[in-house]
Amino acid sequence: MSGRTVLVLNGPNLRRLGTREPDVYGAATFDDLVELCRETGRRLDLHVEVRQTDDEAELVGWVHEAADARLPIVLNPAAFTHYSYALRDALAQRTAPLVEVHISNPAAREEFRHTSVVAGVATGTIAGFGMTSYVLALQAVADMLAAEAIAGA
């Protein structure tokens, strides 16, 4: 296993990538996303664990797990972005970097997608770059971890 573990957590419907609204989300599948994240992690000396759930409670449980273990998170909350205060409250307990990520640009879509209830507790948000959003988010996490290591040395 390579360096520090990072959880890449994905909310509802993301396992349907490739078939779900390809005009919005592209033709790449969830398996393609998993491989992209793992390969990016190897390049950045990160151990990347990719998970997806359609269940809000399961996602909250994973966030608690990350907080307890001080694990950084790259999170695509999907539809939970806009209304899950349970997820937001769990994320507020974070103990490591948290990057919110979106494949599309929610601000350029329907009005209800313009508000993220989780953005206020995230370190930052990357959106609108397709699958590359995940690559950029993992790079940001790697940079933050490196800065923490330098500050702690």
Q: What is the pLDDT of residues 55-101, one digit of tens each?
A: 999 999 999 999 999 999 999 999 999 889 999 999 999 999 999 99
The answer to whether the beta carbons of residues 130 and 103 sit under 8 Å apart is: yes
Catalytically annotated residues: 25, 102
What is residue 1's predicted lDDT score, i.e. its pLDDT? 40
Q: Establish whether 76 is an annotated binding residue.
A: yes
Q: Read off the pLDDT of residues 14-41 as tens digits, 9 standing for 90 and up.
A: 988 777 665 655 668 899 999 999 999 9
Q: Over 70: is that where the pLDDT of 42 sits?
A: yes
Residue 49, φ and ψ in degrees, nearest 5: -110, 115
d(CA 153, CA 44): 20
Residue 89 among known ligand-binding residues: yes
pTM over the 0.75 mark: yes
- Would the annotation count 150 as a binding residue? no
Architecture in CATH of 4-152: 3-Layer(aba) Sandwich (3.40)
pLDDT of residue 144: 97
Please report, for the chain, the start and end positions of each structural domain, with discontinuous segments joined by +: 4-152
